[in-house]
């Protein structure tokens, strides 16, 4: 090709060049530069270093993060609980499947066998591909018209669980046990046959041919992503306590305490648009603490005021894409045992947060 041909770049022999618009020679040239013009960019210029800089700093630190690493620098207490769960799994104390419910959820234990949390894997949710409960598979097969809620995104319940905990922390309601997204792997989780065969094959290769087995990126089963919620001790289903309170009414002071706790639950569900809140997915704890004071003659027992605490669990069907308007999209709360004058959500906001805070929440959150 002729050297004077316009198709030959004058910088073809130079190793340091890049495609970018040329500097305009006239005001009109600022918008009408020749497409594909070639200009020289020095190696040490700021523009060249910016071209090679990644758009997102994935590491955000000096050392790269390991894949599937559970790091919570803002919550060291939660991180320590996850470390206890991981050590227990390595020692052979595996999570135990919860047989209630319509999804695969597990009680996670520590090295002493004490339950410390509830783990709900993403792919074992009610409509996940590895859900161990056959009832949802049968429902999907035989009743596709009743399959799921059209206002929710399927298999995103673990994010909803973590999101409800985050909203609870921001509003300082203190009724949702801390919940975060974690990665865990255990023999008791529901894996596909291929994953289990691959895991056994890698372990066998590591034993027989260590040089080959050491090249594998992972030896055991693949970690599952899901929501991990801290376990709350001493709580029972709300239905149990509500039936007992009907037979044995609470004192006025304790009844007011219970009502305030319940108002916080209603405010939370109103903000996150929870579509599933029955008496089986919120818990109550009723304590009657006593202090024994020893004297010379006898032992006196000082009875303190009972304490009622509420825990909102199973928040996986919240944050809908639209208002729940189908015939089975929402399960309503039971209000029969509470003051009907407080059914207005704005009134509950004032009772729970105060007038100033409620006005802010109504404007910016709801």
Output the DSSP codes for 58-76. Answer: SS-SSSPPPTT----TT-H
Residue found by looking up tokens 């704890």 in the block: 285
pLDDT tens profile 177-235: 999 999 999 999 999 999 999 888 877 877 777 776 666 767 789 999 999 999 999 99
Residues 6+ apart with CB under 8 A from 299: 292, 293
C-alpha 291: how far from chain center: 39
Interatomic CA distance for residues 206 and 200, integer angstroms = 10
109, 115, 138, 133: which is closest to 123 by C-alpha? 133
pLDDT of residue 353: 54
pLDDT tens profile 4-15: 554 544 444 444
Length in residues, the chain: 366
Please report the beta strands in 122-169, taking only residues with DSSP state E, as ranges in sequence order: none
Could you tell me the two tokens for 331?
Answer: 């399960």
Is residue 33 within 8 A of residue 3, CB to CB? The reply is no
Output 202 or 46, whichever has higher pLDDT: 202
pLDDT tens profile 332-341: 544 444 444 4
Interatomic CA distance for residues 226 and 124, integer angstroms = 9
Please report the beta strands in 165-322, taking only residues with DSSP state E, as ranges in sequence order: 179-184, 224-230, 236-237, 282-287, 290-294, 299-303, 307-312
Could you tell me the two tokens for 352?
Answer: 């729970």
pLDDT of residue 340: 40
Residue found by looking up tokens 């304490």 in the block: 307
pLDDT tens profile 337-364: 444 444 455 555 555 555 545 554 554 4
Residues 6+ apart with CB under 8 A from 33: 21, 22, 24
């Amino acid at each position: 090709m002729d050297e004077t041909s316009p198709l030959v770049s004058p910088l073809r022999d130079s190793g340091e060049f890049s495609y970018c618009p040329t500097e305009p020679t006239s005001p009109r040239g600022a918008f009408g530069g020749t497409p594909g013009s070639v200009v020289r960019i020095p190696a040490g210029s700021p523009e060249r270093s910016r071209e090679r800089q990644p758009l997102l700093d994935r590491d955000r630190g000096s050392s790269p993060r390991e894949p599937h690493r559970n790091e919570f620098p803002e919550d060291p207490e939660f991180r320590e609980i996850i470390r206890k769960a991981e050590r227990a799994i390595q020692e052979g104390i595996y999570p135990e499947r919860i047989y209630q419910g319509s999804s695969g959820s597990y009680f996670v234990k520590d090295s002493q066998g004490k339950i410390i949390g509830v783990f709900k894997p993403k792919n074992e949710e009610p409509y996940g591909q590895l859900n161990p409960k056959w009832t949802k598979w049968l429902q999907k097969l035989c009743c596709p018209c009743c399959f799921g809620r059209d206002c929710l995104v399927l298999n995103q319940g673990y994010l909803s669980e973590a999101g409800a905990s985050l909203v609870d922390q921001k509003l300082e309601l203190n009724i949702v046990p801390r919940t975060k997204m974690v990665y865990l792997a255990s023999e008791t989780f529901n894996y596909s046959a291929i994953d289990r065969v691959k895991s056994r094959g890698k372990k066998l290769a590591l034993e027989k041919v260590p040089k080959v087995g050491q090249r594998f990126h992972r030896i055991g089963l693949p970690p599952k992503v899901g929501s991990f919620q801290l376990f709350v001790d001493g709580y029972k289903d709300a239905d149990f306590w509500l039936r007992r309170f009907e037979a044995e009414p609470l004192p006025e002071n304790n009844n007011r305490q219970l009502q305030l706790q319940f108002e916080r639950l209603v405010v939370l569900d109103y903000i996150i648009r929870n579509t599933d809140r029955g008496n089986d997915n919120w818990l109550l704890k009723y304590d009657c603490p006593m202090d024994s004071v020893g004297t010379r003659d006898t032992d006196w027992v000082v009875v303190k005021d009972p304490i009622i605490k509420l825990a909102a669990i199973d928040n996986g069907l919240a944050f809908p894409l639209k208002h729940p308007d189908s015939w089975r999209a929402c399960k309503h709360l039971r209000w029969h045992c509470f003051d009907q004058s407080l059914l207005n959500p704005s009134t509950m906001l004032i009772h729970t947060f105060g007038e100033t805070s409620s006005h802010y929440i109504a404007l910016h959150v709801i």
